């Protein structure tokens, strides 16, 4: 069964794109037909991280009705299929977020997993990915503002008819992970799906335009992502 997961947060910079790119690559590495769509159409980063910044057709053109979906699909690491977004302001203005639902309906016919990298915030382009996914995964940092914004995003997801599967706590100091996990479940009221430690290899991998699960597969963050992917495959 196809599973569409939107990777969201509320607050910016919590690690949504890092999780989306690496979880997608890991699922592909584990033999699953996986697509990753960069629905952060205002601040697109997936293409940058994967070296697809010069992609001639992006989600911008697809959402503007200028190109069809097939023209905006690129093959990434481990065979991950990537639909990057564009970086131009004009492209953003012309893209219609409501069309994300149509793109999604087409993609789910072709894959086992579709990950949607969502923007921060609660504007329209941020809300549509919360509503259309089978499940929303909240990427949250262990700090108050991130937790408050994640809670708001959880409530918003439910208001628009979506469902939150759980949270991934990112950038955790390993020694404190048990306490943080218990607290997070209590405050957010959803299961903690995984804990990703603070790991300097994340930045190195991004600079090298390669997912950490490919360039540093034995790093602590890669191992954490492997566990999360294995759990998702188990429940899909």
DSSP 64: T
Of the residues 9, 17, 210, 222, which one makes contact with Mg ion according to CB under 5 A: 17
Which residues is 111 bridged to in the sheet?
Answer: none
Answer yes or no whether residue 170 interacts with ligand ADP by CB under 6 A: yes
| Sheet of 74-75, strands arranged across | 74-75, 81-83, 34-38, 113-117, 3-8, 135-140, 164-172, 191-197
> Cα dist. 14→30, 71, 131, 150, 196 in Å?
25, 30, 21, 10, 11
Cα gap 95→93, rounded to integer Å: 6
Helix (H, G, I), strand (E, B) or coil at 114: strand
Size of the residue set binding Mg ion (CB under 5 A)? 3
Per-residue interface string for the shown chain with ligand ADP, residues 192-231, x marking contact by CB under 6 A: ----x-xx--xx--x--------------x----------
Which of the ranges 9-17, 68-76, 132-140, 148-156 carries the binding residues for Mg ion, by CB under 5 A?
9-17
Of the residues 22, 25, 45, 146, which one makes contact with Mg ion according to CB under 5 A: 45
Answer yes or no whether residue 145 interacts with ligand ADP by CB under 6 A: no
Binding site for Mg ion (CB under 5 A): 16-17, 45
Binding site for ligand ADP (CB under 6 A): 9, 12-18, 45, 170-171, 196, 198-199, 202-203, 206, 221
């Amino acid at each position: 069964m196809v599973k569409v997961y939107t990777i969201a947060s509320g607050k910016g910079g919590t690690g949504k794109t890092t999780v989306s790119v690496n979880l997608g690559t890991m699922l592909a590495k584990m033999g699953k037909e996986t697509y990753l769509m960069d629905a952060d159409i205002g601040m697109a980063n997936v293409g940058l991280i994967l070296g697809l910044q010069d992609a001639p057709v992006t989600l911008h053109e697809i959402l503007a009705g200028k190109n069809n979906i097939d023209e905006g699909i690129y093959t990434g690491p481990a065979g991950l299929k990537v639909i990057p977004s564009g970086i131009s302001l004009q492209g953003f203005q012309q893209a219609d977020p409501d069309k994300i639902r149509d793109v999604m309906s087409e993609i789910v016919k072709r894959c086992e997993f579709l990950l949607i990298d969502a923007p921060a915030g609660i504007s329209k382009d941020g809300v549509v990915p919360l509503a259309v996914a089978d499940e929303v995964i909240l990427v949250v940092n262990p700090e108050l503002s991130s937790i408050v914004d994640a809670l708001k995003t959880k409530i918003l997801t439910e208001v628009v008819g979506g469902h939150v599967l759980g949270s991934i706590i990112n950038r955790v100091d390993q020694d404190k992970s048990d306490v943080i996990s218990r607290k997070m479940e209590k405050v957010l009221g959803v299961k903690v799906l995984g804990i990703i430690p603070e790991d300097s290899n994340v930045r190195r991998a991004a600079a090298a335009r390669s997912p950490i699960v490919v360039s540093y597969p034995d790093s602590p963050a890669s191992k954490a992502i492997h566990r999360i992917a294995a759990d998702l495959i188990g429940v899909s």
